[in-house]
Amino acid sequence: MTRCADRRWLRVLLCETWCRSEFAVSKRDPLAVRALDLFIAVYGAFAGNMALTTLSRGGVYIAGGIARQIAAKLGDGSFVRAFTGKGRFEDFLRRYPVHIVTDPKIGLKGALHVLQQDD
């Protein structure tokens, strides 16, 4: 196989992932909606665990293509319930800031910022 043929699966996978999230957000496919709901609950639980693990002072920043596509869905309650559902830490996490980064070039901008800093 050529290198180009080897990468074809990645293009298909990325397209299918985008289509699935589009179908889920637009509620055109009940299975996609259920899958997205489950993903958001797991995403929220993991983000809450990371918040407790790192105790970062600025909160949690969620970035990336998937976060941009489902940003509206992240605010519907299931993410927050999973994020804060940590027993005795629930009140603490309710006050913990969660930021959704929608800039598609945030990684490049961050890398540029690091490169421009003097040592």
pTM over 0.85: no
CATH code of 13's domain: 3.40.367.20
Residue predicted with more confidence, 66 or 61: 61
- Between the CA of residue 47 and those of 22, 61, 112, 117, what are the distances in Å? 23, 9, 26, 29
Q: What's the CA gap between 45 and 118, in Å, rounded?
A: 38
Q: Give the domain range for residue 14.
A: 3-116
Neighbour tally for 52: CB within 10 Å = 13
Q: What's the CA gap between 18 and 33, in Å, rounded?
A: 13
Write out the H or E segment, with its range, that includes residue 60.
Answer: strand 60-62
pLDDT at 81: 95
Q: pLDDT by residue (tens digit) across 9-48?
A: 555 445 555 555 665 666 777 777 788 888 899 999 999 9
Residue predicted with more confidence, 66 or 113: 113
Answer whether 90's CB lies under 8 Å from 52's CB: no
Q: How many domains does the chain have?
A: 1
